[in-house]
């Protein structure tokens, strides 16, 4: 069956792979944010260095999963919007667009910061990644702040996204949240 006719009508819910990408990214982002908050206040030690590595590995993993998720999303349509006021549909589309942008911007800013600070990333201790920029202390400080601001922006959007999903589930009772939960057999 041709792709155009197979996807002429958006599905009523997300498929299994889209759901898996959603929840894997959600866990990875919350975990990376938590580790990031915790590690910056730790005294210099081997434990702190280990946390920084885990944070970097999570960032590269988030970046990779985001690329796969975006490719999958471009190939598979999202379920149709539920009936809602136009402003809510527009807000939803804007928030989702910003979330996707930040899924890429936050880890890329962190990678660039790590490069400028002179600390290469070796993904899971196995795959050395190229540096984005040459070491530069002033640039590193700017990129550090950029990464931090983008991460806080992502956290704020995640909170808004969760709040909207809960509003739909608990107040509107429109079943929106069920579209992103695994199907029951």
Q: What is the pLDDT of residue 150?
A: 98
The answer, yes or no, to whether residue 169 has pLDDT greater than 70, is yes
Helices 86-116 and 46-75, interaxial angle, to 10°? 140
On whether the pTM is more than 0.85, the answer is yes
pLDDT tens, position by position, 27-59: 999 999 999 999 999 999 999 999 999 999 999
Q: Which residues, including other chains, have CB under 8 Å from residue 67's CB and lie 6 or more apart?
A: 104
* pLDDT value of position 10: 55
In this predicted model, which residue has the larger pLDDT, 94 or 80? 94
Question: Which three-class secondary structure state does DSSP give residue 84?
Answer: coil
Say whether pLDDT at 7 is over 60. no
Question: Residue range 93-99: average pLDDT?
Answer: 94
Q: Helix-strand-coil percent breakdown of the chain, rounded to 5?
A: 70, 0, 30
Categorize the per-residue pLDDT at 185 as very low, low, confident or very high, splitting at 50, 70 and 90. low
Quote the CA–CA distance of 70 and 39 in Å, as a whole number: 30
User: Domain segments of the chain: what residues?
Assistant: 12-180
If one compares 180 and 151, the residue with the highest pLDDT of the two is: 151
- So what's the pLDDT on residue 83? 81
CA distance 32 to 62: 9
What is the reported pLDDT for 160?
95
Q: Are 121 and 129 in contact (CB under 8 A)?
A: yes
What fold does the segment set 12-180 form as a domain? Fumarate Reductase Cytochrome B subunit (1.20.950)
Q: Which of 132, 127, 2, 116 is nearest to 53 (CA)?
A: 127
- Asked if 36 contacts 58 with a C-beta cutoff of 8 angstroms, the reply is no
Give the pair of three-digit tokens for residue 32: 């990376």
Percent pLDDT > 90 in the chain is: 72
């Amino acid at each position: 069956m041709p792709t155009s006719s197979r996807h002429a009508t958006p599905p009523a819910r997300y498929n299994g792979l889209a759901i898996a990408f959603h929840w894997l990214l959600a866990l990875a982002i919350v975990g990376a944010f938590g580790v990031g908050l915790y590690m910056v206040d730790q005294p210099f030690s081997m434990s702190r260095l280990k946390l920084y590595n885990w944070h970097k590995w999570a960032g590269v993993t988030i970046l990779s999963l985001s690329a796969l998720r975006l490719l999958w999303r471009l190939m598979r349509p999202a379920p149709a919007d539920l009936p809602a006021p136009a402003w809510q549909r527009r807000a939803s589309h804007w928030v989702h667009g910003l979330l996707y942008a930040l899924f890429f911007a936050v880890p890329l800013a962190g990678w660039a910061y790590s490069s400028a600070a002179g600390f290469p990333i070796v993904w899971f201790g196995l795959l050395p990644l190229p540096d984005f920029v040459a070491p530069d202390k002033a640039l590193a400080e700017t990129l550090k702040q950029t990464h931090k601001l983008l991460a806080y922006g992502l956290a704020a959007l995640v909170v808004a996204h969760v709040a909207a999903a809960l509003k739909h589930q608990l107040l509107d009772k429109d079943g929106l949240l069920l579209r992103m939960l695994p199907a029951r057999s």
